[in-house]
Amino acid sequence: MKKIIFKIITPEKIVFEGEVQNVTLPVKEGEVTILPEHVPYIASLKAGEVIIRSDSEEPRRLAVSGGFVEFHDNTLVLLADTAENAKDLDLERAEEAKKRAQELKNQASENDEEYGRLVAMLEKETIRVHIARKHGISHKKTIFTDN
């Protein structure tokens, strides 16, 4: 069976690189699943969940906050603003960050230069909370006490 060579790149690092069966992506028009031999494709990503399927593993899930994707000759490259493995998300921290982003956005005027950045930040934190809840991830810290 043919495979796709898939790479996820953020400004900081290569998040994933390998051969996969298919990838489901959140694009501006909705959601798309790229299979081997898919027609060439370029799209803008929106904040959402990327699902990577390989032969022998459970699907790998990542939260992305935007970027672009290109598919050509069975090679899929995702240039993401941010990308985090779902299993690494901390629901409590994500909820706190979402709350802070919402407060900052509410304080800003739509004419403010920072408004667009704040909307993007809120969108990123909202998707992180959604994915962490969807997959039952909490990562609450254990507090040890002396008895």
Average pLDDT, the chain: 82
Reported as a single tens digit per residue, the pLDDT across 74-113 is 999 999 988 888 777 666 776 777 777 777 777 777 776 7
Q: What are phi and psi of 22, to 5 degrees?
A: -160, 165
> How far apart are alpha carbons 63 and 8 in whole angstroms?
12
- Give residue 36's region: left, alpha or beta (phi > 0; psi -120 to 50): beta
Question: In the chain, what's the furthest Cα-to-Cα distance?
Answer: 64
Instruction: Let me know: does 131 contact 89? Beta carbons within 8 Å.
Output: yes
Reported as a single tens digit per residue, the pLDDT across 55-69 is 877 898 888 988 999
Q: Which residue has the tokens 């254990």?
A: 142
Q: pLDDT grade, residue 41 (50/70/90)?
A: very high
